[in-house]
Amino acid sequence: MNTTIESFAQLELSPPILEALAGIGYETPSPIQAACIPHLRAGHDLLGEAQTGTGKTAAFALPLLDRLDLSARKPQVLVLTPTRELAIQVAEAFQRYAKNLPGFHVLPIYGGQSMVVQLRQLSRGAHVVVGTPGRVMDHIERESLDLDSLKTLVLDEADEMLRMGFIDDVEWILEHVPIERQTALFSATMPDAIRRVAHRYLRDPREVKIKAATTTVTTIRQRFCQIAVAHKLDALTRILEVEEEFDAAIVFVRTKTATVELAEKLEARGYAAAALNGDMTQQLRERVIEQLKGGGLDIVVATDVAARGLDVPRISHVINYDIPYDTEAYVHRIGRTGRAGRTGTAILFVAPREMRMLKVIERATRQPIEPLQLPSREAVADKRVAAFRHQVATVLESEDLDFFHDVVAGMEDSHNADIHDIAAALAFLAQRERPLQLPQSAGPDIATQTAARAERPPRENREAILERRRDFSDGRLQRYRIEVGRNQQATPKDIVGAIANEAGIESRFIGQINLYEDYSTVELPADLPHDVIDILRRVRVRQHQLNIRPLDRDEAQRDAARPRPGAGPRFGAKPAPRGEDAPRKPYAKPWDKPAGKPASDRPHGGKPFHTDRRDTQGTAFKPGKKKPQRDR
């Protein structure tokens, strides 16, 4: 990792990109960016071990944008992502970074989206295409994705693609893109299967791994709270209100813009808060720090760079409002508290998809990070009422209230009011600026939502995003009918891909698939929630809506009574003879080993579908010239 890179300009990115980054508010490259950008700019292949949240999207998007030929509106960069959500996110990131590149066009393509629309969009051309493996394969086969000008292929979250059962698709794509290309593979972990893919398809790759700083920070109590981005501000203010032994806090965010925005929001809520970022002059920054030291400010909202070396003993809390890029930054951040022999508290906000980063941090700091139960509305109200009572008691003890006694007595007489009613009305007036009760918002209290999460062991990354959808499955499977079959050229892989991608059901939850002429049946968890079924109903495979529904008992019995040839691998099974309404081979679970020779004994390292083109004379591939020999 290059630790001397302080600015994006040092990475020699072009002025339009630098301007876009300044506009977004990125202050300094994250470690993965500092390490990857020079290699990708130089055209090297790259193997990057990086989690979500490390800034890896910009790590590849920025240098690749700089290498585009904008005059040719043909795909020059292809990014493969495991899910449509990520495809959209990555495409949006490209769009943001390319704000000042005239005519730039990026296109996300994923299953479930109308094929007609996609074909039209592809025919209009795009410089960058971001897609899920199944759909990208479709377009390569149809020759609607023109790969003649492809310069770079990026595999994003490769381990996730492996976990979702898409690795064969990915390899198929790797075989069908031009040989003369740059390949970058990013993965949060490096299981053997991914290493093998890297070894086989990457040429002399530069390896980038963000080193995990291992250290122990015993004087700091570390806690985390899994929270959606939209609820972070509410969560922060609740925590600030109820935390015991709160003196001062430093709140870390990612961008300069965010320091200012959040500081303003906190000020508007009555906190003595200010921003601290690299755009401020040295003098201004020093003033903020002096104010924090002296008690003129209680909260400073800072970026990593601006808070470097900050030493203010009264900082009792470090809030990681945005998760840091790596463990080093985390350790550095939390080290701003617990200084001068004091104890401190560090609180980390983790968005659902960042849960894996939490694990990495725990490992690096060699300390478990405890889940934090967000204070409920009632807990916040109790705290405010207690503080209010205390204020009233202090006034009763220390102030001369003669004049006010007369005022109240006058009210009692003229309104003929009960003294309690008058006191209640005065309390109401006194709290108007800062209500004793939190306003009721629509939906469940965010505290209940985080409580539910805290009870469960933290899940990883994408599992967390899809957790709501996957909160089913007691293990029972049931057969469903879908309205697409052999006549529509559907394959089990299409079906698994669409179900996994669109409904977020991992392939391991998808059981046997039987293909018939005009429909198919598929085993899925028996307790699929309604909203998942709704999604699946609308999903399209080969342009046909699935219209999924559970089989009734008779249908299920008929389906089960069909002749079943021996089990084979779900992917890559040969089609059963056509005619009749005979089902194809049942498809085994992904963990079932394919029958026959071990993979290494089969041609092409065991890849079942296609011929290996890398070992030919290095001639560039012309898409569409060779149809894959797989069951699509």
Q: Is 56 in the site for ligand AMP (CB under 6 A)?
A: yes
Among 11, 39, 57, 539, binds ligand AMP (CB under 6 A): 57
Question: How near is the Cβ of 360 to ligand AMP at its closest, in Å?
Answer: 13
Tell me how far apart the alpha carbons of residues 308 and 287 are, in angstroms, rounded to a whole number. 16
Among 13, 18, 29, 154, binds ligand AMP (CB under 6 A): 29
By beta-carbon proximity to ligand AMP, the closer residue of 53 and 569 is 53
Among 31, 48, 53, 335, binds ligand AMP (CB under 6 A): 53
Q: What are phi and psi of 196, to 5 degrees?
A: -65, -45
Q: Is 76 in the site for ligand AMP (CB under 6 A)?
A: no
Q: Is 145 left (phi over 0), alpha (psi -120 to 50) or beta?
A: beta
Q: Is 58 in the site for ligand AMP (CB under 6 A)?
A: yes
Tell me how far apart the alpha carbons of residues 554 and 475 are, in angstroms, rounded to a whole number. 22
- SS3 (DSSP) at 520: strand
Tokens of 231: 């609820």
Task: Considering only the stretches 54-62, 308-316, 395-403, 428-436, report the one whose residues sit in contact with ligand AMP under the rule CB under 6 A.
Answer: 54-62
Distance of CA 293 to CAs 268, 314, 594, Å? 22, 7, 66
Cβ neighbours of residue 579 closer than 8 Å, sequence gap 6 or more: none
Task: Considering only the stretches 55-63, 262-270, 284-292, 359-367, report the one whose residues sit in contact with ligand AMP under the rule CB under 6 A.
Answer: 55-63
Task: Considering only the stretches 38-46, 53-61, 499-507, 601-609, report the one whose residues sit in contact with ligand AMP under the rule CB under 6 A.
Answer: 53-61
By beta-carbon proximity to ligand AMP, the closer residue of 122 and 158 is 158
CB 65 within 8 A of CB 94: yes
Cβ neighbours of residue 550 closer than 8 Å, sequence gap 6 or more: 478, 479, 480, 481
Sites for ligand AMP among residues 276-315 (CB under 6 A):
none
Tell me how far apart the alpha carbons of residues 295 and 293 are, in angstroms, rounded to a whole number. 6
Judged by CB under 6 A, the number of residues near ligand AMP is 13
By beta-carbon proximity to ligand AMP, the closer residue of 255 and 449 is 255
Question: How near is the Cβ of 561 to ligand AMP at its closest, in Å?
Answer: 49
Task: Considering only the stretches 48-56, 63-71, 143-151, 364-372, report the one whose residues sit in contact with ligand AMP under the rule CB under 6 A.
Answer: 48-56
Q: Is 39 in the site for ligand AMP (CB under 6 A)?
A: no
Sites for ligand AMP among residues 7-26 (CB under 6 A):
26
By beta-carbon proximity to ligand AMP, the closer residue of 52 and 365 is 52
Tell me how far apart the alpha carbons of residues 425 and 420 are, in angstroms, rounded to a whole number. 9
By beta-carbon proximity to ligand AMP, the closer residue of 279 and 559 is 279
DSSP 257: H
Q: Is 54 in the site for ligand AMP (CB under 6 A)?
A: yes
Question: How near is the Cβ of 35 to ligand AMP at its closest, in Å?
Answer: 12
Tell me how far apart the alpha carbons of residues 45 and 152 are, in angstroms, rounded to a whole number. 9
By beta-carbon proximity to ligand AMP, the closer residue of 64 and 498 is 64
Tokens of 218: 């015993």
Helix (H) or strand (E) holding 168: helix 167-176
Q: Is 187 in the site for ligand AMP (CB under 6 A)?
A: no
Tokens of 558: 């008929």
Q: Is 30 in the site for ligand AMP (CB under 6 A)?
A: yes
Q: What are phi and psi of 465, to 5 degrees?
A: -60, -40
Tell me how far apart the alpha carbons of residues 210 and 205 are, in angstroms, rounded to a whole number. 16
By beta-carbon proximity to ligand AMP, the closer residue of 54 and 277 is 54
Question: How near is the Cβ of 357 to ligand AMP at its closest, in Å?
Answer: 9
CB 492 within 8 A of CB 447: no
Alpha-carbon torsion, ordered 627, 630, 631, 632, to 10 deg? -40
Q: What are phi and psi of 49, to 5 degrees?
A: -100, 105
DSSP 487: G
Task: Considering only the stretches 49-57, 395-403, 435-443, 592-600, report the one whose residues sit in contact with ligand AMP under the rule CB under 6 A.
Answer: 49-57
Cβ neighbours of residue 411 closer than 8 Å, sequence gap 6 or more: 417, 422
Instruction: Give the helix ranges, DSSP H, for 431-466.
Output: 446-455, 461-465
Question: How near is the Cβ of 266 to ligand AMP at its closest, in Å?
Answer: 20
Tell me how far apart the alpha carbons of residues 570 and 588 are, in angstroms, rounded to a whole number. 5
Sites for ligand AMP among residues 243-262 (CB under 6 A):
254-255
Question: How near is the Cβ of 462 to ligand AMP at its closest, in Å?
Answer: 12
Tell me how far apart the alpha carbons of residues 159 and 206 are, in angstroms, rounded to a whole number. 18
By beta-carbon proximity to ligand AMP, the closer residue of 466 and 546 is 466
Task: Considering only the stretches 28-36, 174-182, 197-205, 240-248, report the one whose residues sit in contact with ligand AMP under the rule CB under 6 A.
Answer: 28-36
By beta-carbon proximity to ligand AMP, the closer residue of 55 and 165 is 55
By beta-carbon proximity to ligand AMP, the closer residue of 57 and 183 is 57
Question: How near is the Cβ of 129 to ligand AMP at its closest, in Å?
Answer: 18
Among 35, 47, 48, 55, binds ligand AMP (CB under 6 A): 55
Identity at 78, one-letter amino acid code: L
By beta-carbon proximity to ligand AMP, the closer residue of 52 and 182 is 52
Tell me how far apart the alpha carbons of residues 445 and 575 are, in angstroms, rounded to a whole number. 52
Question: How near is the Cβ of 163 to ligand AMP at its closest, in Å?
Answer: 18
Cβ neighbours of residue 465 closer than 8 Å, sequence gap 6 or more: 85, 352, 353, 504
Q: Which residues make up the interface to ligand AMP (CB under 6 A)?
A: 26, 29-30, 33, 52-58, 254-255
